[in-house]
Structure 1
Amino acid sequence: MLSRARRQKILEWIQEEGSARVRALADAFSVSDVTIRQDLERLEADGHIVREHGGAYLRSAQQQVRAMALHHLVNMEAKRRIGAAAAALVEDGETIILDSGSTTTEVAANLMERERLTVITNALNIALMLGALPSCDVHMPGGHFKAPTLSLSGDKSAQYFEGLYVQKLFLATAAVSIDAGLTYPALADISVKRAMIASAEQVVLVADSSKIGRRSFTSLCGIDRIHMLITDDGIADADAQALEASGLKLTVV
């Protein structure tokens, strides 16, 4: 992998996890500790991260937590349309899972008028948004807190979903393509997302068009595990045709 591409993936990793250790990055990218330290030096010089002994952390993490703000706040107009379309699929009285992320947060924002909802989410900001509503029963797993995504992650979080059954899961991912399926920049969330998928009768992927046709670091699942994709009208015609040909139901807003 070229150094520029590797640094971008390292940055995406840290933006998801909040921090990273040199040794873990070196193992993941099959390069030396020295190479990773050089990458981190460059990312620090560019203003993205702060290096510390043995690793680095996201520069904006503390401010994000204090403000309860997510890191990925781009393409928000498209994400609002996607969120509204996804929320329209939810019926009163259903039990659903909302994954963490800026697009799933927009789904949550459009569920304020639903009655007798049971919502399971690993996203602290979504739990706070819906948990105060008397019409909504909110549950959260345990696990490790991730500042950039305001979410709970790791094996403890994944174990929570074992044996659960819900009508719908609204899932987020970093990238989706026909050949690679759904991919994600960080390892800790993979087990949680797979456990969510296993718990749901219907899996609805909510992803803006900038994520389609891309590939991230770690494989989450194949396209065949997803029932519906809701995206925006920026999707390329070729990508839309290929996804629909795979049997995936595609909704473009």
Structure 2
Amino acid sequence: MLSANERRDFIYRYVHENQLASYNDLAELTNVSHMTIRRDVQILEREGKIIRVNGGIQLSALLSQELPWQDKSYLNHKIKKELGKFAFSRISEGTIVYLDAGTTTFEIACSIPDNFSVTVVTNDFSISRVLMNKPGVDLFHVGGKVDKRNYSCVGLSAANFIKAQNIDLAFLSTSSWDLKHGISTPYEGKAIVKQTVISVANRNILVSDSSKYGKYGFYTACPLSSVDEIITDSISGECKKSLKDIDSPRITFVDIF
């Protein structure tokens, strides 16, 4: 039997993965009564994590916190893998590339061939671990305050390290983005890092699956017009409809089979 905190964590992860959850499903999955589920939902709603809809719950558009790296890595993994492979095609040998902390940018790192000659700067420990085993990669890891939930370095110290780098191409990640709020995050330390990267890189590309579109965090890192290209999937009709008529940045929809 899950504790109350474990049960609410499960509910939040489940809604992240499925976008919508009914009270019946949640009661069955957690083996508790409908009354208990409704109490859990009230707490999660007060925390700003979910909103109630008819017969169930869905994620709040306002992202109050992100899931831990390990949990995020399981969400839409096939889509992230395909986006990572496609994004790698934008990298030329002999260039300096920044890979932002994230589970989609992690897939870009995994797509780099062992003997591909490139310099990579990253603030993500998981990305560094993968790239340390690739002989062709000259690797620089950004220091600073460690975000233990997301295996990354964030904040002013990380931003100051990045300021001194000459970056040809930066791949940015996010858990929330839309036309109104741009690229956003619940965490100030992450926003500072993204803003700094955008200011020093010659070219910036956002790589994010469409399930994150329509959500926003408290801190805006930048408007979408600050990046040169957005690479996403074509699964979300809302995302595709909202972005199809904008002139800048360039939008690339990757078909997922």
Q: 2:78 corresponds to which letter in structure 1?
A: E
1:128-158 Cα deviation digits (max 9, x unpaired): 1102222111001211111221101111001
Question: Aligned partners of 2:244, 2:197: CA distance in 1, in Å?
Answer: 22
Q: Which residue of 1 aligns with 2:223?
A: 222
Q: Give 1:242 deviation, angstroms.
A: 3.2
- Alpha carbons of 1:104 and 1:240: their partners in 2 closer, same or farther (altered >3 Å)? farther
For the pair 1:157 / 2:146, whether they are aligned, the reply is: no
Whether the 8 Å contact between 1:240 and 1:250 is mirrored in structure 2 is no
Larger radius of gyration: 2
Cα deviations by residue, 1:157-191 (Å, 9 ceiling, x for unpaired): 01001132211101001211111111112111111
- For 2:164, what is the secondary structure of its paired residue? coil
The equivalent of 2:202 in structure 1 is 201
Would you say 1:213 and 2:210 are equivalent positions? no
Kept in 1: contact 2:230–2:251 (CA 8 A) = yes
**Alignment partners' CA distance in 2, 1:71 and 1:188:** 21
The residue identity in structure 1 corresponding to 2:172 is L
**Count of aligned residue pairs for this structure pair:** 198
Structure 1 unaligned spans of 5+: 1-6, 13-38, 49-57, 62-68
The letter of the residue matching 1:212 is Y
**Counterpart AA for 2:145:** H
Matches within 5 A, 1:26-45: 42=43
**Contact 1:70 1:101 (C-alpha < 8 Å) held by counterparts:** no
Distance of 1:238 and 1:208 partners within structure 2: 10
Note the C-alpha offset of 1:213: 2.2
Contact 1:130 1:136 in 2 (8 A): yes
Task: Name the amino acid aligned to 1:118.
Answer: T
AA matched with 2:123: N
Deviations 1:80-106 (A, max 9, x none): 110000011111111100001100000
Whole-angstrom CA distance in 1 between matches of 2:221 and 2:192:
8
When residues 114 and 154 of structure 1 are mapped into structure 2, their CA distance, relative to the original with a 3 A threshold, is same
Q: Between the two proteins, what is the percent identity of the paired residues?
A: 26
Please name the residue that 1:35 is paired with: none
Distance 1:229 1:99 in 2: 14
CA distance in 2, matches of 1:125, 1:138: 13
TM-score of the aligned structures, taking structure 1 as reference length: 0.71
CA contact (8 A) 1:112 1:130 kept: no
Partner of 1:135: 136
Q: CA deviation at 1:113?
A: 3.9
Partner AA of 1:72 in structure 2: K
TM-score relative to the length of structure 2? 0.69
Q: Answer whether contact 1:213 1:239 (CA < 8 A) is retained.
A: no
CA distance in structure 2 between the aligned counterparts of 1:175 and 1:243, rounded to whole angstroms: 18
Question: Which letter maps to 1:120?
Answer: V
Q: Which residue of 2 aligns with 1:97?
A: 98
Q: Secondary structure at the match of 1:159?
A: helix
Deviation at 1:76, TM superposition (A): 0.8
Task: Tell me what 2:71 maps to.
Answer: 71
Q: Given the superposition, is the C-alpha separation of residues 81 and 244 from structure 1 closer, same or farther in structure 2, using an over 3 Å criterion?
A: farther
The RMSD of aligned alpha carbons is 2.9
Match of 1:205, SS?
strand
